[in-house]
Amino acid sequence: MGEQDVRKRAAREQGTAQQDAREQATEVTVTIPTAADMREFGVRLAGLLRAGDLLVLTGDLGAGKTTLTQGLGEGLKVRGPITSPTFVIARVHPSLAGGPGLVHVDAYRLGGFAELDDLDLDASLAESVTVVEWGEGLAEGLADERLEMIISRAADDSTEERVVRLSGVGDRWADLQDHIIR
Ligand SMILES: Nc1ncnc2c1ncn2[C@@H]1O[C@H](COP(=O)(O)OP(=O)(O)OP(=O)(O)O)[C@@H](O)[C@H]1O
Ligand SMILES: [Mg+2]
């Protein structure tokens, strides 16, 4: 094979690799202008969820994790209210519509995986939608497949805008991009 052929083949293979990476990518970024929009985004996202799903929410204090979870609860039609837990670390919101319940966890005060493990979330994971705020670095141990979401404020702090980066881990989320309406 001539040098040119080798180069051509390398270029073709690289092209295929790039296409594969695009096909496998499960990253989606959405921009959310207001708190009401964040809630509404949660309602829409809830439409994709089913029992067994784990969502890990990351973002600074006041980023909007609980606001998003309130939308999820509304969309899932679970019993509220969904609040920022002060003393209660995990709260179960049963479905009012015969669907999966919502298990809302605030891992902020947890010291480590042993304490998270003590909550026995495994027991309810399969029949619920489990949402863990401040779960980064902890909640990944609960399930191989999960939807990780990072909420950040926009660079321009004169707005209330938030940027949500969704990253699906595992086959469960392989077609995330097709479902999230940006
Ligand atoms: N675009 C937006 N998306 C979400 N919340 C917004 C937005 N704009 C303003 N807000 C306000 O920001 C606050 C977000 O608070 P929230 O309790 O949801 O944050 P949190 O990430 O759960 O914080 P914590 O780390 O304390 O649990 C609310 O007061 C909400 O009204
Ligand atoms: Mg919160």
Residue from 67, 74, 105, 151 to probe ligand 1 pocket by mutation (most atoms less than 8 Å from CB): 67
What pLDDT, on a 0 to 100 scale, did the predictor assign at position 111?
86
What pLDDT, on a 0 to 100 scale, did the predictor assign at position 121?
93
Residue 82 has pLDDT above 60, yes or no: yes
- In angstroms, the Cα distances linking 109 to 23, 115, 177 are 38, 10, 33
- pLDDT class of 179 with cuts at 50, 70, 90: confident
Mean pLDDT across the chain, nearest whole number?
88
**Taking ligand 2, which is a single-atom ion, which protein residues have CB atoms under 5 Å away?**
65-66, 84, 133
Cα(66) to ligand 2 centroid in Å equals 4
- pLDDT class of 178 with cuts at 50, 70, 90: confident
- C-beta atoms surrounding 19 within 10 Å: 10
- pLDDT class of 173 with cuts at 50, 70, 90: very high
Nearest to 133 by CA among 106, 165, 115, 113: 106
First to last CA, the chain: 47
Q: What angle do CA 135, 136, 142 make, to 5 degrees?
A: 60
- The pocket around ligand 1, CB under 6 angstroms, is made up of 32-35, 37-38, 59, 61-67, 84, 133, 160-162
- pLDDT class of 80 with cuts at 50, 70, 90: very high
- In angstroms, the Cα distances linking 127 to 5, 70, 94, 120 are 55, 19, 11, 13
The pLDDT of 114-142, averaged and rounded, is 92
What pLDDT, on a 0 to 100 scale, did the predictor assign at position 19?
46
- pLDDT class of 156 with cuts at 50, 70, 90: confident
Task: Report the atom number in ligand 1 closest to the C-alpha of 61.
Answer: 25
The pLDDT of 64-88, averaged and rounded, is 92
82 vs 84, which has greater pLDDT?
Answer: 82
DSSP 140: G
147 vs 88, which has greater pLDDT?
Answer: 147
The pLDDT of 29-46, averaged and rounded, is 97
Residue nearest to atom 11 of ligand 1 (CA): 35
Query: How many residues does this entry show for the chain?
Result: 182
pLDDT single digits (tens) 12-26: 555 544 444 444 448
Cα(62) to ligand 1 centroid in Å equals 4
- pLDDT class of 9 with cuts at 50, 70, 90: low
Q: 97-100 — which CB contacts under 8 Å span 24+ positions?
A: 99/51, 100/49, 100/50, 100/51, 100/76, 100/127, 100/128, 100/129
The domains located in the chain, with CATH, are 26-179 (3.40.50.300)
Beta 54-58 vs 128-133: how paired, if at all? Answer: parallel
